Structure 1
Amino acid sequence: MSAKYHSNRYSYYEKKTLEQSTPSKKKKTAQKLQKKKQIQKKKRQVRVQRTLIELGLSLFFLGVFLYGLSIFTFSITKVEGYSMIPTLNNSEWVFVNKLAKPRRFKLVLYKDLKSKETSVRRVIGLPGETIFYRKDKLYVNNQEVYERFIEEEVQRAKDSKSNFTEDWSTKKRSIPKGEYLVLGDNRPYAADSRDYGYITEKEIVGVVEMRILPVHQIKQF
């Protein structure tokens, strides 16, 4: 292989060394330079491989950390069914805060202890309260409480001379300690505490803070 061919691959000083050498020296010098470049190339490859391994390990441990964190602090959950229309629709995704405390009118994700199925419903009654509905009005401990989140639905039902929420009560018995009364926003069709009773504090996974998917419908509750 001629020095002219190698001259395109070496620095200015390496070219000068080749030009000033005898043919045999030129060949040895070219071989040394070629070996040097091969060593440098291998070192670069090792550095790249090491960087990729470190990046992969970092991502792995980050994933493990976030997963562990989510077990105790938050979760991302897919909504199933139509009981929460118009607030939430089927197949939408929500962010659940596991550290938040359930409060009236907050959305909660709960898991049935027997079936292990999860559902999203709205907290209406708290422990120690009595709840009843009369002519589409909510009464908590005999005091009327306005439900702004279903205002339009109630008005449409009123215009059609019907009730959006049927008359219903806890039969003047207070909600037991550690239990909550939950209803779906789609009152005429939702399955909720009117069907299966109260949910316990142990069943509540967390408070639904935000709809995150679909992206164009992101909303904080």
Structure 2
Amino acid sequence: MNFALVLFLLLVATAALWVVDRFFARKRRAPGAPSPWWVEYGASFFPVILIVFVLRSFLVEPFKIPSGSMIPTLLVGDFILVNKWTYGIRLPVINKKIVPVNDPQRGDVMVFRYPADPSLDYIKRVVGLPGDKVEYLNKRLTINGEPVRIETDGQYLHTDRLYYSPRYVEKLGDTEHRLLIEDDAPAYLPQVMDFPFRDHCTYTSAGVRCLVPEGHYFVMGDNRDASSDSRVWGFVPDENIVGRAFFIWFNFNDMKRIGSFN
């Protein structure tokens, strides 16, 4: 469901009822006569829907994490807030940028519309910027010929399945973050899709090399071996960007999760 479109249609409908009631219907009713229930309720909801629409479209939008592809940074069930204006002000519904502000940076956790199905929202970490040469070979990341710094950081316990994964600390740009890499998982990607600019990538048994096209971004999940990302379905075009995730505001299973993250 396109919630932004539904909210916009509700805004238009309640705004129309408010205008009709404010400038036309009231003048024709007898003094003291009540408004029809559908006019009264519709007009009263208009300011509430307007506030929600403005906040959600231009400032912050809530999301719920549905999968484990961003473990250990984000867990299933985390409710997060996404900054809608960090990467520029966009028109609601059509998502067209009208005021450029900043561009995504390496290390940002970004929400975007899934390129293969824009009705779905995905969240991943920005790894490659336009023009970057990204290599992920033998489970090690290289950008523009420079290996990305990575250090061991103990183990991560998956409480739902009671097993441990090797945990690492990686530095992308100015951002340090933790990630999981399964040493015994295969490096090759047998399920690669046919995506725009597919010819910018070369796949081998060791992994993938990609040249990020202009106006696009290469993203990956922090749970590297359990993430379907740019290695599989390609690059994220700028017009698909929703915003930058910056805060965990709730988790029903763990209240200690509330707070910011890298």
Q: TM-score, normalised by structure 1?
A: 0.62
Kindly state the Cα deviation for residue 107 of structure 1 after the two structures are TM-superposed.
0.7
Question: Matched residues in 2 for 1:79 and 1:109: separation?
Answer: 11
- Return closer, same or farther for 1:135/1:211 CA change in 2, 3 Å cut-off: same
Task: Please tell me the root mean square deviation across aligned C-alpha atoms, in Å.
Answer: 3.1
Specify the code of the residue in structure 2 equivalent to 1:93: F
2:66 corresponds to 1:80: yes
Question: Matched residues in 1 for 2:128 and 2:186: separation?
Answer: 15
2:50 corresponds to 1:64: yes
Q: Which residue in the other structure is 2:146 paired with?
A: 143
Question: Matched residues in 1 for 2:86 and 2:68: separation?
Answer: 25
Matches within 5 A, 1:35-184: 61-62=47-48, 64-101=50-87, 102-112=104-114, 115=117, 116-147=119-150, 151-152=153-154, 156=166, 162=183, 166=187, 167-171=206-210, 174-184=211-221
For structure 2, which runs of at least 5 residues remain unmatched after alignment? 1-42, 88-103, 157-164, 169-180, 188-205
Question: Matched residues in 2 for 1:197 and 1:93: separation?
Answer: 26
Task: Answer with 1 or 2: which has the greater Rg.
Answer: 1
- Return closer, same or farther for 1:58/1:164 CA change in 2, 3 Å cut-off: farther
Residue by residue over 1:186-206, the C-alpha shift from the partner in whole angstroms, topping out at 9 and shown as x without a partner, is: 111211111101111111100
Question: Matched residues in 1 for 2:256 and 2:85: separation?
Answer: 27
Q: Runs in 1 of length 4+ with deviation above 3 angstroms?
A: 57-60, 150-155, 163-167
2:225 corresponds to 1:204: no
2:223 corresponds to 1:216: no
Question: Matched residues in 2 for 1:65 and 1:161: separation?
Answer: 45
For structure 1, which runs of at least 5 residues remain unmatched after alignment? 1-56
Q: TM-score, normalised by structure 2?
A: 0.53
Q: Which residue in the other structure is 2:194 paired with?
A: none
CA contact (8 A) 2:116 2:233 kept: no
Identity of aligned residues (%): 27
Kindly state the Cα deviation for residue 157 of structure 1 after the two structures are TM-superposed.
7.5
CA contact (8 A) 1:136 1:163 kept: no
- Return closer, same or farther for 1:206/1:95 CA change in 2, 3 Å cut-off: same
- Return closer, same or farther for 1:130/1:151 CA change in 2, 3 Å cut-off: farther
Residue by residue over 1:88-137, the C-alpha shift from the partner in whole angstroms, topping out at 9 and shown as x without a partner, is: 12222110001113211111111125531111111111110001124443
Specify the code of the residue in structure 1 equivalent to 2:62: I
Q: Which has the higher strand share?
A: 2
Residue by residue over 1:17-59, the C-alpha shift from the partner in whole angstroms, topping out at 9 and shown as x without a partner, is: xxxxxxxxxxxxxxxxxxxxxxxxxxxxxxxxxxxxxxxx999
CA contact (8 A) 2:125 2:219 kept: yes
- Return closer, same or farther for 1:114/1:177 CA change in 2, 3 Å cut-off: same
- SS of residue matched to 1:65: helix
Question: Matched residues in 1 for 2:258 and 2:183: separation?
Answer: 32
Kindly state the Cα deviation for residue 61 of structure 1 after the two structures are TM-superposed.
2.5
